[in-house]
Amino acid sequence: MRILVLSDSHGAVGNMVRAVDLVQPRMILHLGDCWRDAEKLRRLFPEIPLEQVPGNCDCRPGEMAERLLFIEDKRVLMCHGHTYGVKQSLIAAGYAAEEQNADLFLFGHTHRPLCDWRGKTMFLNPGSVGDYSHPTYGVVTIDNGKLNAAVQELK
């Protein structure tokens, strides 16, 4: 299964559409900042399941700040990252991932891509698909129980 991970789109719906066309995902995960962008993407690609969480710029108090998804046999914890202070440190995020027994921890907020194993958990920050000079996105694959992730620059 190929999953497209987007964050911090900040109005750059065209960039998100290009990423969908390039990746051809079976699922899309949007990690916040801008909720409305994800809703537009959902309308453009109704056949692709899309899950999202709000970011610090989204003002969505009725929405959960994080979600635990079960994708195939993997536990995926997705959030924007601001509630864990990811701009300062990944310590709180690491504790959350451990508490939830997450195989994959997805976050954004920093606009800086990261793809790294921390213990048994893969941490992925896809960066910002809305960045005006270097937009990036994440691709997660789950194949025969094996989890892989990478960050790609949108060209």
User: pTM, whole model, 2 decimals?
Assistant: 0.96
Contacts of 136 (CB under 8 A, 6+ apart): 113, 126, 127, 128, 129, 151, 152, 153, 154
Number of domains in the chain: 1
C-alpha–C-alpha distance, residues 71 and 101, integer Å? 14
Amino acid identity at 132:
Y
pLDDT tens digits along 67-90? 999 999 999 999 999 999 999 999
Check which CATH number belongs to the domain holding 27 and give it.
Answer: 3.60.21.10
CB atoms within 10 A of CB 112: 14
**Residue 95 CB neighbours (<10 A):** 11
The CA distance from 85 to 88, in Å, is: 6
pLDDT digits (tens, 9 = 90+) for 87-119: 999 999 999 999 999 999 999 999 999 999 999
Structure tokens at 29: 């995960």
Which residue range forms the structural domain that includes residue 126?
A: 2-153
